[in-house]
Amino acid sequence: MKLKDTSKIEPQKDRVLVDIKSKVKDQDGLYTGEDKSGNYIGEVVKLGPNATEDLHCPNLKEGDLAIFSEFSGHHIATDNSIKLKVIPGYDIVATVSDQNNINEQTLTATADRVLISVRMTDESEDGLVISAEEAKDPKLTDLDYGVILQTGPVAKMGLQVGQLVAYESCIVTGK
């Protein structure tokens, strides 16, 4: 069944109604994301009553362009060409001010998210953080490294812009 009147949709709890605009592509025209399936950009249409709480997506407002996983939430079939989706606020990883020019100046990290500039571990003989001896440890070689460019409004753990960090690439939405 397809909805004719989408104006009556009211997201509940921490949910956000978004109008899908496009998939996110990087500067080379490739889809972002480890699985190459891409992420979506959607315009925030309506917010549930708890969607802007700290643990969800603080500072989010109607009209924002939000970036989220294509696997998040539920699609809503409509009679017209509008592509709507209801997603949890926490699934929004960033907002973007210009969907045609996505970079560190146009992205804003949400909630506890961190925007990182990825660094390769082979930039020096011993890597950026780990020594040659530590590089033999498979638990450390499976990590990626980067410099924090921006933190979301409720990011904790003492993270600071400019700090070098190690992280598991499986938890990153794009490179």
Closest by CA position to 93, among listed 149, 48, 40: 40
pLDDT band (50, 70, 90) for residue 24: low
Q: Are 140 and 134 in contact (CB under 8 A)?
A: yes
Report the alpha-carbon distance of residue 159 to residue 167 in Å, rounded. Answer: 13
Closest by CA position to 74, among listed 87, 65, 88: 87
Q: Are 164 and 129 in contact (CB under 8 A)?
A: yes
pLDDT above 80: residue 94: yes
DSSP string for 46-61: EE-TTTTSTTT-TT--
Over the stretch 44-69, which tens digit does the pLDDT of each residue have? 999 999 999 988 888 999 999 999 98
Q: What percent of the chain has pLDDT over 90?
A: 26
pLDDT above 50: residue 174: no
pTM to 2 decimals? Answer: 0.74
Residue 117 vs residues 2, 24, 167: alpha-carbon distances, Å: 42, 17, 12
